[in-house]
């Protein structure tokens, strides 16, 4: 009996993970379409969305934090920010008392464009979630936080491990 219950739980977890993969695919496709709609490269559009979302939360990003969020080197992030600033999509400001700190802000039209593109989806998602009680949503929120922590920890650990096929050969020409 206990084995059957465990099998059912394993199957349920697999279905949940498949649903999360599908959701991730939908998110990636929406990001791709938003980029095309704006006429931007997908990485540039992702950066614009990260900047706008952080600003909306009241915690604007620095270039270094954006670099971490979108997994780009500092040099690549600088080039990206130069493109976005030249196109008027973002601004860099020195708002902090420490003038070395740069704050990224969305250009005036970016939030409007993001709202125009994502607004109808936001209404659909809100309507879908409105059918669930706050206690259940709190459980889902905790569940997602746990999954995100597990994934963050895994990625951090994997950063320290280089796949064998990517290692440099030793002086004898052998891969360690």
Q: Is 175 contained in some domain? A: no
Number of alpha carbons in the 13 Å side-chain half-sphere of residue 85: 13
The predicted model gives 167-171 an average pLDDT of 52
- Answer yes or no: do 76 and 119 share one domain: yes
Q: Is 95 contained in some domain? A: yes
Question: What pTM was estimated for this model as a whole?
Answer: 0.74
Model pLDDT for residues 112-166, shown as the tens digit of each residue: 888 899 999 999 999 999 999 999 999 999 999 999 999 989 988 887 776 655 5
Q: Which domain holds residue 26?
A: 2-130
CB atoms within 10 A of CB 66: 22
- Answer yes or no: do 148 and 82 share one domain: no
The predicted model gives 61-87 an average pLDDT of 93
SS (HEC) of the chain: CHHHHHHHHHHHHHHHHHHHHHHHHHHHHHHHHHHHHHCCCHHHHHHHHHHHHHHHHCCCCCHHHHHHHHCCCHHHHHHHHHHHHHCCCEEEECCCCCCCCCEEEECHHHHHHHHHHHHHHHHHHHHHHCCCCHHHHHHHHHHHHHHHHHHHHHHHHHHCCCCHHHCCCCCCCCCC
Model pLDDT for residues 24-69, shown as the tens digit of each residue: 999 999 999 999 999 999 999 999 999 998 998 999 999 999 999 9
Q: Is 156 contained in some domain? A: yes
Model pLDDT for residues 1-28, shown as the tens digit of each residue: 555 556 689 999 999 999 999 999 999 9
**170: Cβ contacts below 8 Å, ≥ 6 apart:** 176
- Answer yes or no: do 124 and 145 share one domain: no
Q: Which two tokens stand for residue 171?
A: 């002086």
Round to whole Å and give the CA distance between 152 and 71: 13
Q: Treating both helix axes as pointing N-terminal to C-terminal, what angle do 108-129 and 42-57 enclose, rounded to 10 degrees?
A: 80
Q: In the prediction, which pLDDT does 172 show? A: 52
Q: In the prediction, which pLDDT does 123 show? A: 97
Do 77 and 70 contact (CB within 8 A), yes or no? yes
Report the number of distinct structural domains present in the chain. 2
Q: In the prediction, which pLDDT does 11 show? A: 93
| Stronger pLDDT, 104 or 98, i.e. the higher one | 104
Do 81 and 92 contact (CB within 8 A), yes or no? yes
- Answer yes or no: do 35 and 88 share one domain: yes
| pLDDT at 100 exceeding the cut of 80 | no
Rounded to 5 degrees, φ, ψ at 104 are -95, 135
Give the CATH number, domain containing residue 125.
Answer: 1.10.10.10
Q: In the prediction, which pLDDT does 8 show? A: 84
């Amino acid at each position: 009996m206990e084995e059957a219950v465990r099998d059912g739980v394993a199957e349920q977890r697999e279905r949940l993970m498949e649903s999360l993969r599908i959701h991730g695919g939908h998110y990636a496709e929406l990001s791709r379409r938003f980029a095309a709609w704006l006429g931007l490269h997908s990485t540039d559009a992702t950066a614009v969305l990260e900047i706008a979302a952080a600003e909306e939360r009241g915690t604007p990003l620095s270039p270094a934090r954006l670099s971490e969020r979108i997994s780009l080197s500092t040099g690549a992030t600088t080039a990206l920010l130069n493109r976005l600033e030249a196109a008027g999509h973002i601004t860099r400001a020195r708002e902090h008392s420490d003038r070395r700190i740069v704050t990224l802000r969305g250009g005036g039209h970016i939030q409007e464009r993001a709202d125009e593109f994502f607004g109808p989806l936001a209404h659909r998602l809100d309507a879908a979630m409105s059918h669930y009680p706050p206690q259940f949503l709190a459980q889902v929120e905790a569940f997602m936080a746990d999954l995100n922590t597990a994934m963050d920890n895994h990625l951090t650990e994997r950063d320290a491990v280089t796949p064998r096929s990517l290692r440099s050969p030793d002086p004898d020409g052998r891969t360690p």
